[in-house]
Structure 1
Amino acid sequence: MMKEKKKSSGSNGSSDVTPKVRHRCCFPCLGPLTFHPHAVGDMVTLSHTHRVAKRSTETFRNGLVFSSRPVKLRERVRVRVEKDVFNWHGSLRVGFTNVSPSRRALPLPCTAIPNLTDTPGHWAAALPESYCRVGSQLDFWVSHDGSIYIMSNSGDKEKLLNGVDLKQPLWALIDIYGQAYSICLLGSEKRGLVSRKSCPAPAPAPAPEPSPTPQYIKPLLLASKDSNLDTESEDMSYLDLRISEDQTCVVCMVSEARITLPCGHRCLCTSCNNKVLQQFGTCPLCRHDISSSSMQRCATSEPRHLLPQHTHAHTHTYG
């Protein structure tokens, strides 16, 4: 399936055009889940393929974000708090809406409660500050009886509210409010006889280069870039400060991408490489075949004398 989306520039810092992407799912997969790229609060910036949302610390509001697609009943949306600030009172508000993010007029309201909840088709509740400390992971979902539940790090399950209209599709909504100002959307899971999870969001195809660089040279360029990074730059709390966004694994977005695939893309960490190889068998960026046989062919033909000599880069190749 091929999709193309365009967007005009705005205050949220997202790119003007979303390139064409391809995606294939099997039954256990719920499909990619990210933040909606256009319907975001005035003070929100999206990054890491629309899975990290950051609100300005200069304000406690204007931090609304929505899921990129409707979620299913009992599909647990999982987020992690990346950064907080104690200048404000209150913290995240979570909930659901049957109003499509694509149909919303901009700018968005400044808060979920009461600006959205006072209008039909919106249900949201405020979370305790203790649930929203840095590193906290939260699951929230809608049950078959129209109730919204939240589960915290400790595994405690709490009912937030009820009365959600289940007759129409529902999108998750989060208000990055108060103390929490940066969150990461980790994906979703629907539990049952067969557990189903959201898959990694398909990454946009790389932009065309004026002078194409040979694929086996790209790891050298990345290693060089790594050595010149500013370690004092502001980055996500769970990432190594030496790893730029371009060098982060495109699946987990946490570990350094150390695996060079047969197609030339260096985009997976060692752990995610094994999972992608078993479940998909294609490069997450270009969908090139990365089956065992193709890796063996790559290993025998890779010009190893061109691999980077910087020991701190820890470049891995198939072989």
Structure 2
Amino acid sequence: MTEKNKGKKMTLEANDTVKCVCHALGSLRAISFHSDVKGPLITLSDGGRRVTRDVSSFCHGLTFSGRPVQIEEKVRLRVEHCERRWHGALRVGFTHVLPEHTTLPPLAIPDLTHSPLYAAVVVPEGICRPGLEIQFWLKKNGCMHILCSDGSTHTEPTTLNPTWPVWAMIDVYGQTTSVMMLGSKKRRCIFTRRSCPALTHIKHTEDKEMLERIKEQMSMLEQRNHYLDNKDHETSDCEECVVCYSEVANCRLSCGHKCVCGPCGMRVYMTFGTCPLCRQPLGFFHPCD
């Protein structure tokens, strides 16, 4: 490759991180870091594209994507700065839980990953240096895959359900103190869909259509709760889901009630956070055979 072509390629790659593709045919929704949910030592800059952790500590650097990501959608990051006095490095992963419903602990691993609704992987400290670009995505089989610009790859099985909504989770941990969001991309047949890493394009709330669905689900659940409040239940197990009344109740909530199907259990957990029978706060639920 000639020097001229090399220079042209580098220019195109640099422009790829800032060019707006929101209105391009088949483009993905813009993605950046969540502006409201972040660790106490995290600050945002560059319109929400860069997160920086205060170097006074190695932890309290949790951040999330500002919107759900699709299965096989590759979230792209670049390590901007490292602080050598700490050990460990960046952690990346996904969660089914709305960022707004997550109580932020100091660490992603193991403080969040003890729950099957969270999954995260450590980026090796030896390669996590300024300039390293990382792509990570959730595959259709539920495994998380990481690809680094140095050629290294890693695949990790998770407990996540690929049919449920997921948000990207980034823990700016240890030596890693600053990370830039480069956008995302997803391969579709013969072309690649891309997104803008621009905060100005992002709404950090659900789309209107999704909000309407949530309101409808809340109304249905309120009706079911009214019915259940006025009916004696002799056992904690139900034969049919008390939310949709169309599927078998095959999930046991953390309070002990086996009263919802898998999809409804996930919606109840993310939307309300309490059991529809006893109103106790939920931890996580177990699919039953």
Which residue of the partner structure matches residue 94 of structure 1? 92
Quote how far apart the aligned CAs of 1:149 are: 0.6
Structure 1 residues 200, 54: closer, same or farther in 2, change over 3 A? closer
**Residue 101 of structure 2 corresponds to residue 103 of structure 1:** yes
The answer as to whether partners of 1:125 and 1:161 remain within 8 angstroms in 2 is no
The answer as to whether partners of 1:149 and 1:160 remain within 8 angstroms in 2 is yes
Quote how far apart the aligned CAs of 1:195 are: 0.6
Deviations 1:92-144 (A, max 9, x none): 11100000112334xx1110001110124100111101231011000000111
In the alignment, the residues of structure 1 paired with residue 171 and residue 131 of structure 2 have an alpha-carbon distance, to the nearest angstrom, of 18
Which residue of the partner structure matches residue 71 of structure 2? 73
Within-5 A mapping of 1:247-286: none
Residue type of the partner of 2:91? R
Deviations 1:164-207 (A, max 9, x none): 22231000001100001000011001013221001252638xxx
Give the secondary structure class of the aligned counterpart of 2:33. Answer: coil
Q: 1:176 aligns with which of 172, 176, 183?
A: 172
After superposing on structure 2, the runs of 4+ consecutive aligned residues of structure 1 that deviate more than 6 Å are none
In the alignment, the residues of structure 2 paired with residue 152 and residue 77 of structure 1 have an alpha-carbon distance, to the nearest angstrom, of 12
- The size of the alignment, in residue pairs, is 180
In the alignment, the residues of structure 1 paired with residue 48 and residue 27 of structure 2 have an alpha-carbon distance, to the nearest angstrom, of 19
In the alignment, the residues of structure 2 paired with residue 182 and residue 114 of structure 1 have an alpha-carbon distance, to the nearest angstrom, of 21
**Residue 194 of structure 2 corresponds to residue 197 of structure 1:** yes
Structure 1 residues 162, 79: closer, same or farther in 2, change over 3 A? same
TM-score by length of structure 1 reads 0.54
Which residue of the partner structure matches residue 53 of structure 2? 55
The answer as to whether partners of 1:40 and 1:64 remain within 8 angstroms in 2 is yes
Which residue of the partner structure matches residue 140 of structure 2? 144
The answer as to whether partners of 2:142 and 2:159 remain within 8 angstroms in 1 is yes
The answer as to whether partners of 1:149 and 1:159 remain within 8 angstroms in 2 is yes
- Identify the structure with the greater strand proportion: 2
Which residue of the partner structure matches residue 40 of structure 2? 42
The answer as to whether partners of 2:49 and 2:180 remain within 8 angstroms in 1 is yes
Residue type of the partner of 1:195? T
Aligned residues with identical type, % of pairs: 40
Structure 1 residues 185, 37: closer, same or farther in 2, change over 3 A? same
Which residue of the partner structure matches residue 249 of structure 2? none
In the alignment, the residues of structure 1 paired with residue 158 and residue 25 of structure 2 have an alpha-carbon distance, to the nearest angstrom, of 30
Give the secondary structure class of the aligned counterpart of 1:182. Answer: strand
Give the secondary structure class of the aligned counterpart of 1:54. Answer: strand
Residue type of the partner of 1:28? G
The answer as to whether partners of 1:66 and 1:174 remain within 8 angstroms in 2 is yes
Q: 1:116 aligns with which of 96, 108, 112?
A: 112
